[in-house]
Amino acid sequence: MNRADAELWLTCLRREAGAQLRLLCLPYAGGGTLAYRPWAERLPHGVELWAAQLPGREKRLAEPPPDAMSPMVAAIADAVEPWDATSFAVYGHSMGAQLGFELARELRRRGASGPTRLLVSGCVAPQVPCPYPPIHALSDGPFIEELKKLGGTPDEVLRSAELMAFVLPVIRADITLSENYACRDEPPLGCPINVYGGLADPVTDREGLDAWQRQTTGPFKLRMFPGDHFFIDACGAVFFDALAADLQPSPTDSLK
């Protein structure tokens, strides 16, 4: 992948000279790089912040939203593969957790350097069926009602028929991808996995979050926070303190 193509998929949100770690963030359904821009002020010194920019949003608005996960994962892998000599971690929320997990697997298949750590939130382990009914095929009215329960979509957007007509196709396409995702049977990863969940999240449960432990031979940690699917918005500094601590390597970590 040439530099222009890589820049299409990846956006640097905070550059750090001599950074010890790059953190690549992957979006939830309907989300983009904007969701992670505030993180530039919250991450510890020495961490360079990057975000994946997916088709159908922001600078790629004219492109159709993705209709398959594998090509998207392959394209992101192409973009990060030159990071071989650089230590990087991957974070993803909800659909982004699935993308991050599959990205780590894809890099392993290529024999490339994968993330030193996988951090996921708001998503049950990939081998666990979602315990709640899918919503992607609902008609617009019921679909929007389910989005309200999840949170994450601003009220001003939900109240605007014009804005919803604009964003709904992307959100629906992403949720379709996420709900149709099927985890192939492969060996567990070797990097540490950190999992974060909301105690009142309507689409995850602690058992499903704890099952991520089966996907790593390295260290595993689960942290639960007050809040729903978008608990990070509610707990703020508490989450970022935990994230900063988890981004620090420990002597027991199994790093690639």
Give the DSSP per-residue string, 157-202: HHT-HHHHHHHHHHHHHHHHHHHH------PPBSS-EEEEEETT-T
Higher pLDDT, 212 or 235: 212
Query: Active site includes 94?
Result: yes
Higher pLDDT, 238 or 150: 238
Structural domain includes residue 255:
no
The tokens for 193 are 């996995």
Question: Angle formed by the axes of helices 95-110 and 69-80, to 10°?
Answer: 60
The values of phi and psi at residue 81, to 5°, are -60, -35
Among the listed residues 101, 71, 98, the one whose alpha carbon sits nearest the alpha carbon of residue 189: 101
Q: What is the pLDDT of residue 71?
A: 94
Cα 172 from Cα 136, distance rounded (Å): 6
Asked if the model's pLDDT at residue 59 lies above 50, the reply is yes
Structural domain includes residue 72:
yes
Q: What is the pLDDT of residue 254?
A: 37
- SS3 label, residue 87: coil
What percent helix, strand, coil does the chain show, rounded to 5? 45, 15, 40
Plot region of 30 (φ>0 → left; ψ -120 to 50 → alpha; else → beta): left
Asked if the model's pLDDT at residue 13 lies above 60, the reply is yes
Among the listed residues 31, 45, 7, the one whose alpha carbon sits nearest the alpha carbon of residue 167: 31
Total number of domains in the chain = 1
Structural domain includes residue 43:
yes
Given 94, 139, 160, 250, the catalytic residue = 94
Residue where the block lists tokens 């982004």:
96
Among the listed residues 241, 93, 59, the one whose alpha carbon sits nearest the alpha carbon of residue 174: 93
The tokens for 166 are 């604009």
Q: What percent of the chain has pLDDT over 70?
A: 94
Cα 231 from Cα 229, distance rounded (Å): 6
Predicted model pTM = 0.92
Asked if the model's pLDDT at residue 1 lies above 70, the reply is no
Q: What is the pLDDT of residue 255?
A: 34
Question: Where in the sequence is the domain holding 36, given as residue range(s)?
Answer: 3-246
Structural domain includes residue 37:
yes
Here the CATH number for the domain that contains residue 45 is 3.40.50.1820
What stretches of the chain show up as alpha helix (H) in DSSP? 3-9, 69-80, 95-110, 140-150, 155-158, 161-180, 206-210, 231-235, 237-246
Structural domain includes residue 140:
yes
